[in-house]
Amino acid sequence: MAKRIFLFLLTNILVLTTIGIVLSLLGVGSYVTAEGGIDLISLLIFSAVVGFSGSFISLFMSKWMAKMMMGVKVLKPDQNLSAYERNLVERVHRLARAAGIRKMPEVGIYQSREVNAFATGPSKNNSLVAVSTGLLEEMDDAAVEGVLAHEVAHISNGDMVTMTLLQGIVNTFVVFLARIAAWIASRFVREDMAPIVHFIAVLVFQILFSILGSLVVFAFSRHREFHADKGGADLAGKDKMVHALRMLKGYTQRISSDQSSVASLKISGKRGLALFSTHPDLDERIRRLEAK
């Protein structure tokens, strides 16, 4: 899930910034009045168009971006796969059918020592489940089953689409507030410098507010993790889901908190970093599952 969130947010920031630059250069969506003030209604409409466009473009690019950035090797059923690779594909497809997914997800493996897996894609019927080689080496079959069920549950729950709508709302506020802040900043310079300052300030504030807005997305991600755990337990069995979380906890306890693998997993015991985590505390996830 952490990889999926990171790739989605990175793509979103890049797309949102690019759209903003292009539209500004083309003079589209002018919201500054002839008197030098701001037409707030025009700005809000412009912000919503840019915000939701950036979010939905990010969604449709998500699977392609994941394959490219993570170096995912897609395991196609008609290829000459090893017995283990074919078994991995069959397990994901079996879980997907049990979850009511009509078109089977693509299944992939990427080279990494970290213990991780992610699911991405624009819809339930156009998705990808990818696992790291580290996960396959570190976890036993029961734990792998739990992880796969968890990722399939993310797809079945439609978390990427829901996140896209949330991100669109966040983007709208990011674009809106960034341009108001940029307009205020441009009031403090000479009139001939105002357009340049405004343009640069928009980019700076948009990136800054995007990072702050991602805290809302992170909070949503933590909330949805509990639902994916429950969905994984329904698909693979509660024992396997709890076992997978316990193995992940054991793995994180064996490595130093400053290693890159932990940073990419967004798992940390430090309270100060809780707002920037895509995942709730593992002990809390285990506790909630066992209480069901």
**Which residues have a Cβ under 8 Å from the Cβ of 116 and sit 6 or more positions away?**
2, 3, 131, 132, 134, 135, 261, 264, 265
Give CA–CA dist 121/133, Å, rounded.
21
Report which secondary-structure segment, H or E, holds 98: helix 83-98
Give CA–CA dist 152/99, Å, rounded.
8
Give, in order, the Cα–Cα distances in Å from 123 to each of 78, 110, 162, 163: 23, 22, 10, 12
Known catalytic residue at 284? no
The answer to whether the beta carbons of residues 93 and 112 sit under 8 Å apart is: no
What b-and-e string marks burial along 163-172, b requiring 16 or more CB atoms within 10 Å of the CB? bbebbbebbb
Helix-, strand-, coil-residue percentages of the chain, each rounded to 5? 70, 10, 20
Instruction: Look up tokens 């997993």; give the residue.
Output: 265
Torsion angle of C-alpha atoms 184, 186, 188, 189, degrees rounded to 10: 180
Of the listed 114, 138, 151, 225, which one is catalytic? 151
Q: Which residues are catalytic?
A: 151
